[in-house]
Amino acid sequence: LPDPRAPKNTSWFARRFPRLERFKDRIGLGDPHVEGDEDAVFHTPFYNRFRAVVDWCVAKRWVVIATTLGIFIVAIVGFGLVQQQFFPNSTRLELLIDLRLPEGASLRATQAEAERLERILDREEGIQNYVAYVGTGSPRFYLPLDQQLPAANFAQFVILTDSIPAREALRERMIELFKRDFANLRANITRLENGPPVGFPVQFRVNGPDIATVRHYAAEVAGVMRGNASLSDVQLDWDEQSKVLKVEVDQHKARLLGLSTQDVANFLNTSSRGLAATSYREGIESIDVVLRGDAFERDKLSLVAELSIPTRTGKSVPLGQVATVSYAFEQGLVWRRNREPSITVRGQIYDSRVQAPTVTAQVEPLLEPIKARLPAGYRIETGGAVEESAKGQSSVNAGFPLFLGVVLTVLMVQLNSFSRTAMVVLTAPLGLIGVVLFLLLFNQPFGFVAMLGTIALFGMIMRNSVILVDQIEQDMHNGLPAWNAIVESAVRRLRPIALTAAAAVLAMIPLTRSAFFGPMAVAIMGGLIVATLLTLLFVPALYAAWYRVKPVPTGGSATDDLRSAQLS
């Protein structure tokens, strides 16, 4: 085997890149090539300068600790400037367009609006195909799809585009289209979502026992939300009353003609919707034969009073002879939550740079005057992305005690000391300094995925701290004074800690372009870079303060002490 202490020949890297080799020697990273001295590498100018920095941090331990805590407090305050996010949008190529006509609109009217949009989409570029669903939403082709209930006034388009840029360009054109056209309906243009679907990202629910009062306060909430520049298409999930035709039967006249209320109801149902008179069988299929009035009678509601209703005597009389026909409005749909009427005021965010929790935080203070005026039994609740994010956070919090218990157990087994375990654990939250800094620099939101990355980052920080603390304990066990052990352990662990951190940071760079993993990658990169500095500078100062380490009397160098300790 080759002798590691023998002088080394010029490396391939030095021959191939001589300028980089000279630059490495200039900054003090070159190989000293001292025969028989394995620690000579730690006496280069670079390591000597780093040793002096660590020695200063240990000497000025309270300054370093106070400065680090001050920066940590600033990071906690700065975390409020980081936009919050639940889950990023999916990178799939589908685009969803929901059309909602007023409550009570017929399928024919919804079909007409859908066909009108189809003619527009046929002229658009960047579309592979699209599917329109009238009267219902799309079946679940994607697990987090926000499925819609069947309704005559609802239609949904699923558009498959050529690429992500084509999807975004089509989305912008559709947003502008519905701003200037389709005034008789409400549109919602959305991408597919990752995580639990919310549909509209910003939502507030108004709950209470009386429908009219709930509607009144929901209108006030909607007015506040429309005042926010980041919100578009602010609407209520139900509000409009449906037009109805009321037929009040004169019981005295009906009895004279041998008619009952049930007879009148059956006659009207047969005329408008039809009655299955018989069935026709074709092979294994059974087809109903429906008897109903012609289209002219069904479309002209003004002719209802003139419809001829047959009596039991075999003659027919106009419906207006036995009943009074009038027009009115009634609730076509009532959503209830916990058995109380509940109206959800919801809004869409079309600006990709703005996150739902940020807009929700802007709107909530403006709703306080309305909440203060609410009668007893009425309340305004926050929904949408904020509510779903809280549910996801609660699931993580439920497993946090187990996570903490396992971490503490492993650290105790490794370090065999309560004090050293506590010191290592206290360094973990300081990684938030780098997380907040990089999220702000790269304008990335902090969401559920970034939170998981931050939890993993805490483990990386504690791993580095364990490596350094364990090295200090080993050097002290070998007879090195505590002060010199702290400084020399940081110097000797510099290369392994820095290289592992650099490898992890470089591995995260490709993920920064991902819409889903980008925030997590940025958080880990920033946290690791700061964690490396914390491990090499802050942990030595913390260790010296924790154990009240005093300076070593002036004498031989720390490396000489280490060598003598190893020899002994």
E strands, 186-240, in order? 186-191, 202-207, 232-236
> Is 367 part of a structural domain of the chain?
no
The answer for 36, left when phi > 0, alpha when psi is -120 to 50, beta otherwise, is: left
Among the three residues 330, 357, 382, which one is the final residue of a domain in this structure?
330
On whether the CB atoms of residues 192 and 94 are closer than 8 A, the answer is yes
Is 172 in the same domain as 257? no
314 and 275 inside one domain: yes
181 part of a folded domain: yes
The CATH number that applies at residue 123 is 3.30.70.1430
What CATH number is given to the structural domain containing 282? 3.30.2090.10
Do both 74 and 94 map to the same domain?
Answer: no
The residue from 310, 330, 350 where one domain ends is 330
Q: Are residues 95 and 73 in the same domain?
A: no
pTM for the full predicted model: 0.69
**Given CA atoms 129, 135, 137, 141 in this order, what sign does their dihedral have?**
negative
pLDDT at residue 20, rounded to an integer: 61
- Boundaries of domain holding 94: 90-192
Residues 157, 277 share a domain = no
pLDDT at site 26: 57
Residues paired with residue 337 on neighbouring β-strands, in sequence order = 340
CATH number at residue 450: 1.20.1640.10
Strands of 166-256, DSSP E: 186-191, 202-207, 232-236, 241-249
**Does 125 share its domain with 50?**
no
Below-50 pLDDT ranges, the chain: 1-4, 33-37, 556, 562-568
Residues 6+ apart with CB under 8 A from 466: 411, 414, 415, 424
Task: Please state the domain count of the chain.
Answer: 3
Tokens matching residue 2? 């080759």
Tell me, yes or no, whether 48 and 99 share the same domain. no
* Same domain flag for 422 and 546: yes
Sequence-ordered list of residues with C-beta below 8 angstroms from that of 48, at least 6 positions apart, any chain: 28
CA–CA gap between residue 217 and residue 380 (Å, rounded): 9
Question: For residue 329, what are the β-bridge partners?
Answer: 243
Q: Is residue 371 part of a domain?
A: no
Confirm whether 214 is domain-assigned.
no
pLDDT of residue 132: 92
Q: Assess whether 94 and 77 both reside in one domain.
A: no
Same domain (yes/no): 69, 97: no
* Phi, psi (deg, nearest 5) at residue 432: -60, -20
Q: Does the residue 397 lie in any domain?
A: no
Give the pair of three-digit tokens for residue 495: 């290369």
Tell me whether residue 568 is in a domain.
no
Under 8 Å between Cβ of 97 and 192: no
Q: What is the pLDDT of residue 25?
A: 57
Q: What stretches of 60-210 show up as alpha helix (H) in DSSP?
A: 61-78, 107-121, 164-180
Tell me, yes or no, whether 247 lies in a domain: yes
Confirm whether 411 is domain-assigned: no
Q: Are residues 542 and 421 in the same domain?
A: yes
Q: Give the domain-ending residue among 304, 330, 356.
A: 330
Q: For residue 99, which of 82, 120, 84, 80 has the smallest C-alpha distance?
A: 120
Same domain, 163 and 275: no
